[in-house]
């Protein structure tokens, strides 16, 4: 019997998971959030440092195990934000030194993929859509190959950035999904698929320009001085009201309606959220479908926080049905960043003797820019 403890800390979430013989027996996570603005790496690292012991002991409690029962400590080695990765590694090394157990280094993206085995997907193409990463991955000849990816920003960061510009805090994705459900008008946006890859920064600029037209620009709290080019366009009273009320004031208010063109319909932030989802998710589904066609695989697996989005899941389902493929969607707790996926992948590596003994932990380090296709897969 093997018991592996996994530590996740690559960005916003500090998580500890425990796996016993391929079964998740604990998955405790705490996520750094903001009311306005995005992730500040040092603040997120501080969040991890402050919460690590509580999360760790809660995970042990949930698993019903003692520290001495643990066979190895796995941690997310990369990719991720360096200050956050360091917190996770420091904690892993602290435990390794205390318990005299081996350490297992896990690639975060591959952990998102491997936890998909719980859905019984056997050889899928994975659409991996998270904050910093957007990749279409499939196994081929000893590595998880990237068949397509974003050429600039990850789709989660893209959505969060759009949300932030509309005055919504981090993570913006869930609020944008709610707004999109109220959207009625499709507003045309650029569609940027380049071969198997996608590009998002131009669409983001376009969305920001459209948001400016709506006049919904409150990236700063009321006390903060706004850049001069924004001040002229903003009703300051409304700005302060928005900052106090958050997004609630946006949808209903007639003030936030902008004309698209002389004879065009008006649109709201909800319309933009809806149009953004329809456009960008179609780009993701198109490239995922191309990877299915290219590899001849018959399974599509979703992973990453953006895969929690019900419209993206629905669009993937339709595509899979049309081409006779099967869609696999892990439980929400395993889609977003979590400690369980690190423990789960850690166990696979540990059983394959891919670990470092406690006396050699000085050889272990973080790899903030580690790519999925750099990692050799020796266990397949
Ligand atoms: P991850 O890094 O895999 O935990 O994913 C985090 C990202 O997922 C953040 O950018 C969130 O805004 C995004 N996200 C979470 N839930 C949703 C949702 N329902 N719709 C769209 N994006 C989401
Ligand atoms: Mg992730």
Give the closest residue to 175 by CA, choosing from 154, 160, 189: 160
Pairing of strands 23-31, 125-129: unpaired
Q: How far apart are CA 276 and CA 262, in angstroms?
A: 22
**What HEC string does 3-28 produce?**
EEEEEECCCCEEEEEEEECCEEEEEE
Span 313-341, pLDDT tens digits? 999 999 999 999 999 999 999 999 999 99
Give the closest residue to 104 by CA, choosing from 330, 344, 376: 344
Span 90-120, pLDDT tens digits? 999 999 999 999 999 999 999 999 999 999 9
Distance 113 CA to ligand 1 centre (A): 16
pLDDT at 54 over 80: yes
Q: What pLDDT sits at residue 222?
A: 36
Q: What pLDDT sits at residue 262?
A: 43
pTM for this predicted structure: 0.88
Distances (CA, A) of 287 to 152, 241, 321, 368: 16, 41, 16, 26
Closest ligand relative to 306 C-alpha: 1
CB contact at 8 A, 327 and 316: yes
Identify the residues whose C-beta falls under 6 Å from ligand 1: 11, 130-131, 156, 159-160, 171-174, 177, 304-306, 308-309, 336-337
Q: Report all structural domains of the chain as residue ranges with CATH numbers, in order of start.
A: 3-113+334-374 (3.30.420.40)
Of the ranges 67-76, 170-179, 257-266, 326-335, which one carries the lowest mean pLDDT score? 257-266
Q: How far apart are CA 74 and CA 200, in angstroms?
A: 33
């Amino acid at each position: 019997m093997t018991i592996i403890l996994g530590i996740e800390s690559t960005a916003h979430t500090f998580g500890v998971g425990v796996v016993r013989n391929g079964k998740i027996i604990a998955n405790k996570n705490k996520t750094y959030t903001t009311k306005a603005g995005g992730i500040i790496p040092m603040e997120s690292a501080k969040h991890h440092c402050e919460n690590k012991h509580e999360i760790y002991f809660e995970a042990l409690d949930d698993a019903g195990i003692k520290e001495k029962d643990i066979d190895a400590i796995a941690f997310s080695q990369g990719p991720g934000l360096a200050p956050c990765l360091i917190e996770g590694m420091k904690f892993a090394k602290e435990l390794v030194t205390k318990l005299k157990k081996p350490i297992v280094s896990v690639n975060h993206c591959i952990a998102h993929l491997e936890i998909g085995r719980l859905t019984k997907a056997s050889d899928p193409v994975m659409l991996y859509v998270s904050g910093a990463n957007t990749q279409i991955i499939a196994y081929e000849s000893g590595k998880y190959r990237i068949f397509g990816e974003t050429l600039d920003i990850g789709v989660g960061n893209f959505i969060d950035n759009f949300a932030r510009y509309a005055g919504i805090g981090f993570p913006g994705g869930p609020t944008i999904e709610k707004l999109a459900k109220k959207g009625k008008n499709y507003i045309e946006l650029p569609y940027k698929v380049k071969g198997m890859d996608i590009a998002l920064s131009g669409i983001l600029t376009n969305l920001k320009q459209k948001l400016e037209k709506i006049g919904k620009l409150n990236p700063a709290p009321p006390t903060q001085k706004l850049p001069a080019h924004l001040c002229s366009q903003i009703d300051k009273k409304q700005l302060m009201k928005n900052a106090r009320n958050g997004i609630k004031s946006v949808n209903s208010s007639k003030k936030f309606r902008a004309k698209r063109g002389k004879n065009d319909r008006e649109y709201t932030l909800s319309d933009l959220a809806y149009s953004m989802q329809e456009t960008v998710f179609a780009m993701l589904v198109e490239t995922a479908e191309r990877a299915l066609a290219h590899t001849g695989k018959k399974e599509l697996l979703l992973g990453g926080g953006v895969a929690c989005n019900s419209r993206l899941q629905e669009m993937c389902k339709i595509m899979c049905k049309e081409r006779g493929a099967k869609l696999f969607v892990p439980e929400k707790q395993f889609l977003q960043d979590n400690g369980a996926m690190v423990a789960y992948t850690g166990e696979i590596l540990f059983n394959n003797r891919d670990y470092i003994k406690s006396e050699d932990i000085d050889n272990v380090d973080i790899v903030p820019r580690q790519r999925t296709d750099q990692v050799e897969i020796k266990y397949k």
